[in-house]
Chains A and B, each alone.
Chain A
Amino acid sequence: MNREPLQVRGRVLSVDRAGEYHHLTLVAPGVAERTRPGAFVALAVGGETSAMLLRRAFSIYRAKASGVYGDTVEVVFAVHGSGTAWLADRRAADEVDVVGPLGRPFTLPTEPVPCVLVGGGYGSAPLFALAERLRERGCPVHMVLGGATERRLFGVLEARRSAQTVAVTTEDGSAGTTGRVIDVLPEVLARTGAPVVYACGPMGMLRAVAGLAAEHGVWSQCAVEESMACGVGVCMTCVLPVRDDDGLVRMVRSCVEGPVFRGERVLWDAVGTVPAGTVGAPRVGPGR
């Protein structure tokens, strides 16, 4: 199947509230059938004369090919600034330019092994399609969802329908266990014996999950959140230090080489820096 991204003029089907988040459904012909769990879309914001030129990237929550309303893709987001505020203000039939699906998706296990899926905030969005694919392969799915508050959890009810077990954490104790996902993850890993953990959420959470997974001898697949300008691999802004197959550290683009990385490959403590020894690390003052 052709997996190349498309650029299509999407049409808004609905924008709904989901706790503190927004759930946007777009009719975007052709995108859904190319989508695999973990892929993302890059949306232009503000219309054709917008002063906001950079696309906003969102993990795909659901993608339905040939549904009742045609091909749809759904994303979940928080309003962080004027671009996401514009998206939250869209109404049915409004147009939004869509580029996608983009990025490398989650890698699936070849054996029917139990899997733990960890989502922080609306980072849980891409995990539901992943859970479906895992179940199709006979993998028992266990989910851990965390948020600062109950209203900053996403998809708890859906998780209860799609996973064998669900652990919920909130930092303020408004739902589930008081604390963070990392506080309950050791118990979940021990209980399920899962050899692989999938994670999507803030960088701090991913770093903690990847570290814990490594300690437990468990594979981790982390979908990172780096700010992007284009989403398609041309701007070189969304880079992070990753150890390659050859053992060398390179600054790699999270949009095309990611957003899903093996947890042990990312130099989490060095994100935001160019660690010494990175391929091509500067010896002289760089140009622009």
Chain B
Amino acid sequence: MTTVESAGGPTTGSDVDLGVTLAGVYLPTPVMTASGCAAAGRELSPFLDLSAIGAVVTKSVMLDARSGRPTPRMVETPSGMLNSIGLQGPGIDAFLARDLPWLVERGARAVVSIAGGSLGEYAELGRRLGASPGVAAVEVNISCPNVEDRGQVFACDPVQAARAVSAVRRGIPRDLPLLAKLSPDVTDIVTVAASVMEAGASGLTMINTTLGLAIDPDTLAPVLGGVTGGLSGPAIRPMAVRCVWQVHAAMPDVPVVGVGGVRTGRDALEFLLAGAHAVQIGTVLFNDPSAPHRVAEELRAELSQRGFRSPSEVVGLAHRPPAAAPS
């Protein structure tokens, strides 16, 4: 278990240092953007100082350019949304030539998310990324269908998930952190978590969207062009907190990034208490493009009010037996 010093009295906000070290990477705050919700960062720069937030996690980039799926690609649902974008993107070469240098020049920590349709693609993406300067960490999106395994999603099979992670790991420098992004659409997330850690992941990002469907009662047909879509937003926060909790309970030393419906500093605190070392903001960015800054400041206030001086002091705190909780 994470050792926790008992909290003293309330501190002032200025006493809280939001800096955290995640799998060896220093982040000035534990609040990052979530993949697929910030493009490659540029579009958010009018609203945010990208160098001051924890990190920019880029939209998953694939080997080749992708057009994505037909519209409609999204539908609003209660406290969330369904999306079926289909990983539209420029491909890794254009990303490395244009988007990554832009982020690095601005002093942002670039966590590059990659997605492949086969083990070969993951390996090739790892090699290209491993040879590129300026990458703070790699996040491997394994919620993709494997064309070599009847379209089964990598993340839903512990063996295939591990193979995808290990394919990337082989191509990147040993000291470059690799986060595996897990899907909640599995029977036992702890098994998948253990499998990808064994395969060389440095930490875990939990969770990706969960599969959903919306049907329009007026047209009598599915709303999305892609029929099913990924559900995200505060609607899935309890599911994400549960996943973080289960994995932290089983593997307390594994660095975890919590993602799923974080909207406020209080939500971020909830993830830290469950065992996350940092959080990502996804769908809420669509509502509030400056949310990563706002949530970090709200987290600072939440920590301060409870007498904590650092986010790391509360990681996994909710796992302590009730008797050990501060009175």
Contact = CB atoms under 8 A, between A and B. Distances in A.
B74 interface: yes
Interface in A212-252: 226-227, 229-230, 232-240, 250-251
B178 interface: no
Max chain B Cβ within 10 angstroms of own Cβ: one of A227, A236, A274: A236
B71 A226 contact: yes
B76 A286 contact: no
Given A232-B46, A236-B73, 5 more contacts: A237-B74, A237-B83, A237-B85, A239-B68, A239-B88
A234 B74 contact: no
B44 interface: yes
Contacts of A280: 64-68, 88-89, 91
B70 A288 contact: no
| Chain B at the A interface: SS class | loop
A68 interface: no
Contacts of A233: 39, 43
A232 B76 contact: no
| Chain A at the B interface: SS class | loop
Give the bracket for the number of chain B residues in contact with chain A: 35 or more
Nearest to B79: A51
Give the bracket for the number of chain A residues in contact with chain B: 35 or more
Interface string B231-260: 001100000000000000000000000000
Nearest to B151: A285
A271 interface: yes
B70 A227 contact: no
Contacts of B226: 286, 288
Given A7-B47, A53-B79, A53-B81, A286 B86 contact: yes
Contacts of B47: 5, 7, 99, 232
B115 A232 contact: no
A7 B73 contact: no
Contact of B287 (A53, A237, A279, A287): A53
B76 A53 contact: yes
